[in-house]
């Protein structure tokens, strides 16, 4: 079974540009999460989808971030326009967890550098 995949693995953009990150969850997983780790800090939650619906977007930093999951399969996270403080590693995770144990499986991450 394929794990969570993310694209691209690295992205370097200039301040003010737009970047779109993609996440493909494990097949059949209804829950999809986005997290971010900035340098020196812990991994922090951004957003949770259940199928195509946003269940919790309390971690989204501001309206420059837009996440979508059309059709309830893969998800995209767009940053527009990017700022220097958006640099970090963006992780996607998925789970299919009726028992509510929050067992989430992570992708390798996308390292975003805004210059």
Partner 1 sequence: TQLLEQSPQFLSIQEGENLTVYCNSSSVFSSLQWYRQEPGEGPVLLVTVVTGGEVKKLKRLTFQFGDARKDSSLHITAAQPGDTGLYLCAGGRNNSKLTFGKGITLSVRP
DSSP lists the bridge partners of residue 13 as 114
Number of chain residues interacting with partner 1 (CB under 8 A): 27
Q: Is 44 in the site for partner 1 (CB under 8 A)?
A: yes
Nearer to partner 1, 72 or 81 (CB): 72
Q: Residues 59, 72, 76, 81: which binds partner 1 (CB under 8 A)?
A: 59
Q: Is 74 in the site for partner 1 (CB under 8 A)?
A: no
Could you tell me whether strands 110-114 and 10-13 are parallel, antiparallel, or unpaired per DSSP bridges?
parallel
Question: Residue 65: which residues within 8 A CB-CB, separation 6 or more?
Answer: 46, 77, 78, 79
**Nearest-CA neighbor of 86 among 105, 110, 70?**
110
Footprint on this chain of partner 1 (rule: CB under 8 A): 4, 31, 33, 35, 41-45, 48, 55-56, 59, 91, 93, 95, 97, 100-109
């Amino acid at each position: 079974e394929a794990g969570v995949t993310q694209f691209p693995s690295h992205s370097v953009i200039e301040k003010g540009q737009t970047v779109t990150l993609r996440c493909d969850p494990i097949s059949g997983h209804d829950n999809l999460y986005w997290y971010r780790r900035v340098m020196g800090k812990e991994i922090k939650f951004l957003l949770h989808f259940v199928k195509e619906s946003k269940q919790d977007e309390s971690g989204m930093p501001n309206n420059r971030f837009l996440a979508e999951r059309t059709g309830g399969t893969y998800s995209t996270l767009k940053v527009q326009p990017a700022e220097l403080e958006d640099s970090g590693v963006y992780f996607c995770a998925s789970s299919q967890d009726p028992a509510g144990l929050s067992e989430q499986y992570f992708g390798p991450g996308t390292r975003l550098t805004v210059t």
